[in-house]
Each structure stands twice: as structure tokens, then as C-alpha cells.
């Protein structure tokens, strides 16, 4: 059986090469690219993200990454984001007093965690939705986080899909806590998956999670 082809969106983000290596180790054929034709036809699109929310949005826009993400979702094609690559899926983000619009695919806003110790850095366990595909076999595992901002407050305890491409899709949330502050650690909604933590830095648990996603592309 051929390996699923994953396009890792090249837009200037850090941690790209470790993500590429982790995806390869998890069983994908990987290409780091901003080529819209390749992105449109790949089995999966992987959106890394390191840095400030506003800077990531500007970088994505500069390489037509926003359009690429939206077009894939409109076609029902899988997209996965990590770290800031998850955050930009929401309506907006505020970081260092800079407020920026996000992609608005999901309801909710990104802001600094209400915790004394920031960044939240290191290993942490997560509370997994039992219907999750992404976390199959991983309910008791810990993952590696490095962030100060997250979605920690959302309407009626849940998140809604705002994109017409995801109309009718249920949103599954996996959460974590840092110093009592609960936040979204991962989200799954139809063809869209994302994690706040770094699976490529999360050892065997991270590789298993990436493998779960890659297997869903077959």
C-alpha cells in the first residue's frame, strides 16, 4: 500500500524539519511546499506554527496559505494544524496587546492563559473525547507543550464550526489544564484536526497520534 502524501505548508514557520521527520517516521510521504497545486492534491495538509499569532497570519497570507486551507476544507480534504497552526483556526488572537483576526473556521478566541507561570512548557496529560479518532489508544498519554496563549474560554463550554465547509460537523474537543486553567489541547471537526501541543516533540505518543492521522488519510 502506498504511503499517504502529506504537504507540509512552507510559509516561514519554525520547527518545520522536525515535523517533516516525525511525519515520515509515522508513515507518510512528505513534501515541504507552498505550491498550491501540490497542496490541493495531497492526501493531507499539515500546518505547523511557531511564533506570534499575528506574524503567522501574515506569513500564511503571503504564500496564499489561508486560501489553501479554506479550499481544502471546502473540498472535504484533511487539514491538520499544530501549536499556532491550531490557534489561527479560531476567530481571533490577542498576543502582547496585538489583536488579530484568525481564519474564523471555529468559534473562539486565543489569549494568554490565566496562569501565573508562562509559558506553559513541558509534558502534560490531556482529557480526550472518547469519540476521538486522533487520540485512539492514547487516552492516558502525556504530550509536550510550549505556549503561553490558547483558547481557554468558549461559548457554553463548546466550540462551533463557523466555516460553511464544516456545516453540520460535530466539534470534538480534547482539553488540558495548566495551573488550574483549562484550555483546548486539540480539536477534531470533520476533515479538520489540530493540536496545541507539539506531536513531533512528544516521543512515541506523538508519533502514534501522527500515525492515527496519517492512517485516516488512506
pLDDT of 131-160, one tens digit each?
Answer: 999 999 998 999 999 999 999 977 655 899
Rounded Cα gap, residues 26 and 59, in angstroms = 27
Output b/e per residue, 40-74; b: 16+ Cβ within 10 A. eebbbbbbbbbeebbbbbebbeebebbebbbbbbe
Indicate the SS3 state at residue 150: strand
Active site residue 198: yes
23 DSSP assignment: H
Q: Is 200 a catalytic residue?
A: yes
- The domain spans of the chain are 5-216
pTM for this prediction: 0.96
Assign a CATH topology to domain 5-216: Rossmann fold (3.40.50)
- Which position among 17, 71, 83, 147 bears the catalytic label? 83
> Strand 149-150 relative to strand 172-178: parallel, antiparallel, unpaired?
unpaired
Catalytic residue among 120, 147, 178, 198: 198
pLDDT 10s digits, 93-129: 998 889 999 999 999 999 999 999 999 999 999 999 9
Query: What is the bridge-based pairing of β-strands 98-101 and 92-95?
Result: antiparallel
Q: Which member of 95, 141, 188, 200 is catalytic?
A: 200
Amino acid at each position: 500500500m502506498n504511503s499517504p502524501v502529506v504537504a507540509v505548508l512552507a510559509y516561514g514557520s519554525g520547527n518545520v524539519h522536525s515535523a517533516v521527520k516525525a511525519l515520515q517516521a509515522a508513515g507518510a510521504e512528505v513534501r515541504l511546499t507552498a505550491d498550491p497545486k501540490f497542496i490541493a492534491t495531497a492526501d493531507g495538509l499539515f500546518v505547523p506554527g511557531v511564533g506570534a499569532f499575528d506574524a503567522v497570519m501574515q506569513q500564511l497570507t503571503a504564500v496564499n496559505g489561508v486560501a489553501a486551507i479554506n479550499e481544502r476544507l471546502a473540498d472535504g480534504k484533511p487539514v491538520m494544524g499544530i501549536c499556532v497552526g491550531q490557534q489561527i483556526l479560531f476567530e481571533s488572537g490577542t498576543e502582547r496587546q496585538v489583536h488579530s483576526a484568525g481564519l474564523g473556521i471555529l468559534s473562539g478566541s486565543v489569549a494568554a492563559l490565566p496562569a501565573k507561570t508562562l509559558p506553559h512548557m513541558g509534558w502534560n496529560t490531556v482529557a480526550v473525547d472518547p469519540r476521538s479518532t486522533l487520540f485512539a489508544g492514547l487516552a492516558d498519554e502525556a504530550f509536550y507543550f510550549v505556549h503561553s496563549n490558547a483558547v481557554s474560554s468558549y461559548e457554553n463550554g463548546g466550540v462551533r464550526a463557523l466555516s460553511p465547509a464544516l456545516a453540520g460537523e460535530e466539534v470534538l474537543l480534547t482539553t488540558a489544564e495548566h495551573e488550574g486553567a483549562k484550555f483546548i489541547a486539540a480539536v477534531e471537526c470533520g476533515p479538520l484536526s489540530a493540536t496545541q501541543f507539539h506531536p513531533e516533540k512528544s516521543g512515541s505518543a506523538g508519533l502514534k497520534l501522527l500515525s492515527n492521522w496519517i492512517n485516516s488519510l488512506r
